[in-house]
């Protein structure tokens, strides 16, 4: 499957975040954040738990209200959802459990990614099946298409969710903590998948605690600290800055590079379960 055509980077950036602040309840979660991701870039969004990483991704997708500033996807204001070309955007939320619910095969889950409010039967037919098989092949799971996702490992489940996001052949893919809770072999398989997608021209924005196995996939790092951008530059520059902080005895960037045992303090948004309830309720971003 070829999710994008492209080596050439579009003149209009897939993501433009300008001076964005987000307040949830009485808490300022994002404070004057600026971020531009250009076509073909692979950007890692790093930061400690509660720094605002997931909140920023959800704000980019128009899932949270903006107090001030603006967010554009492919030049379209996300507050006017009808104008945004959602078919160009793929989103992989933090991995969902598979403990119970309506049994679903990997193929059924991936086909559900074709659904949208205006196309309630888009997952049916020969063409939808073929697109879903191509998406599963892109994550090296085509041979497991008819297997129930309840028996999949954490890493395999994550790759199914990526295939579900890829089934519309998006140009931009946002991933929220794709390495969380999966073993090393699964992380390496996921890194191989994302490296292949990037080579095809797909633009990636990935929320991470640490780059780990995705270090070779990432070219640029953005670090959030208490809702503000603390660093934005090539990953090599971050490593140099990290080493300099270590020499000075500072540890701020350590929080950005190592996972904490404590849970995130960011407000959670509940997504429709993908693998535990009817897959027909689990469409795309729109």
Kindly list the domain boundaries of the chain, sorted by start residue. Answer: 15-98+171-258+265-281
- Secondary structure of residue 50 in the 3-state scheme: coil
Contact present, 129 and 75 (Cβ < 8 Å): no
Enter the DSSP assignment of 229: E
Rounded (5°) CA angle 88-113-218? 55
Confidence (pLDDT) at 116: 73
Dihedral sign of CA atoms 87, 76, 70, 65 in order: negative
User: Is the whole model's pTM more than 0.95, yes or no?
Assistant: no
Q: What are phi and psi of 220, to 5 degrees?
A: -140, 145
CATH number belonging to the domain at 15-98+171-258+265-281, selected among 3.30.365.10, 3.40.50.300, 3.90.1150.10, 2.30.30.40: 3.40.50.300
Q: What are phi and psi of 58, to 5 degrees?
A: -65, -30
Distance between CA atoms of residues 29 and 228, nearest Å: 9
Query: pLDDT tens string for the chain (286 positions)?
Result: 544 444 444 589 999 999 999 999 999 999 999 999 999 999 999 999 999 999 999 999 999 999 999 999 999 999 999 999 998 999 998 865 544 456 799 999 999 888 876 666 677 888 999 999 999 998 889 999 999 998 888 888 888 999 999 998 999 999 999 988 888 888 898 899 899 999 999 999 999 988 889 999 999 999 999 999 999 999 887 765 554 444 434 444 444 334 333 344 344 333 333 333 333 333 445 5
Closest of 113, 176, 115, 110 to residue 139, by C-alpha: 110
């Amino acid at each position: 499957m070829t999710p994008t055509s492209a080596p050439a980077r579009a003149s209009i950036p897939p993501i433009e975040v300008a001076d964005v602040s987000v307040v949830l309840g009485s808490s300022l979660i994002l404070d004057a954040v600026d971020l531009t991701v250009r076509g073909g870039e692979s950007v890692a969004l790093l930061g400690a738990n509660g720094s605002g990483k997931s909140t920023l991704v959800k704000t980019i997708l128009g899932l949270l209200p903006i107090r001030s500033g603006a967010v554009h996807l492919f030049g379209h204001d996300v507050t006017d959802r009808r104008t945004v070309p959602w078919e160009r955007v793929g989103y992989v939320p933090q991995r969902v459990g598979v403990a119970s619910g309506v049994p679903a095969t990997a193929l059924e889950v991936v086909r559900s990614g074709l659904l949208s409010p205006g196309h309630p039967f888009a997952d049916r037919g020969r063409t939808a099946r073929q697109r879903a098989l191509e998406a599963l092949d892109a994550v090296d799971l085509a041979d497991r298409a008819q297997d129930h996702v309840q028996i999949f490992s954490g890493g395999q489940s994550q790759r199914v969710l990526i295939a579900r996001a890829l089934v519309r052949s998006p140009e931009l893919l946002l991933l929220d903590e794709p390495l969380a809770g999966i073993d090393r072999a699964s992380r390496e398989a996921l890194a191989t998948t994302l490296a292949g997608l990037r080579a095809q021209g797909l633009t990636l924005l990935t929320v991470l605690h640490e780059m780990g196995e995705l270090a070779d996939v990432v070219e640029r790092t953005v670090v959030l600290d208490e809702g503000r951008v603390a660093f934005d530059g090539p990953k090599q520059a971050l490593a140099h800055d990290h080493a300099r902080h270590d020499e000075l005895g500072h540890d701020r960037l350590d929080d950005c590079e190592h996972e904490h045992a404590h849970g995130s303090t960011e407000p959670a948004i509940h997504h429709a379960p993908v693998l535990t309830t009817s897959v027909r309720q689990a469409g795309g971003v729109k």
